[in-house]
Amino acid sequence: MGLCYTTQHQHMPDQLPDLSHLQFAVLDVMGSSVTSGKELRKALYAEHKINKSGPAFYQMMARLEEAKFVEGWYEQGIIDGQIIKERNYKITGNGIRAVNQTKAFYRGRTAKVSWRPAIS
């Protein structure tokens, strides 16, 4: 037997969140700490099983930077005698607001959900 849900009507803003589900997951995983792209990709997979290729991931991060949801910069280091540049990210105030608005949008729509058996 499956489940379906009903909701009680309540006043909710009609505006959709600014973030896609993938962008929301990225910002939520980032939290308030500075995170390297490499570590962020690992965390996305560990927490949400999101496994984007390097180019797709960094293209998505560039869009988040353009939207002013994150700040990104390179830090240079040496690993095994090789000079490397690693991209690091930090969520901005706009990013924090977007995450909070997205949470509120969905919370408002699921707060009064009541589950009952589906009619087969």
Domain region containing 79: 17-112
In this prediction, residues 45-58 reach a mean pLDDT of 94
Q: Give the C-alpha separation, 11 to 22, whole Å.
A: 27
Question: How many domains, in total, are found in the chain?
Answer: 1
For the four alpha carbons of 22, 27, 29 and 34, in that order, the dihedral sign comes to positive
In this prediction, residues 25-54 reach a mean pLDDT of 94
Q: Give the C-alpha separation, 42 to 14, whole Å.
A: 34
Is 8 inside any structural domain?
Answer: no
pTM summary value: 0.75
Cβ atoms of residues 60 and 22 within 8 Å: yes
Per residue in 69-99, pLDDT (tens digit) is: 999 999 998 989 999 999 999 999 999 999 9
Task: Give the DSSP H/E element, type plus range, for residue 60.
Answer: helix 54-66
pLDDT interval class at 39 (50, 70, 90) = very high
CATH number at residue 84: 1.10.10.10
Is 62 inside any structural domain?
Answer: yes
Radius of gyration of the chain (CA): 19
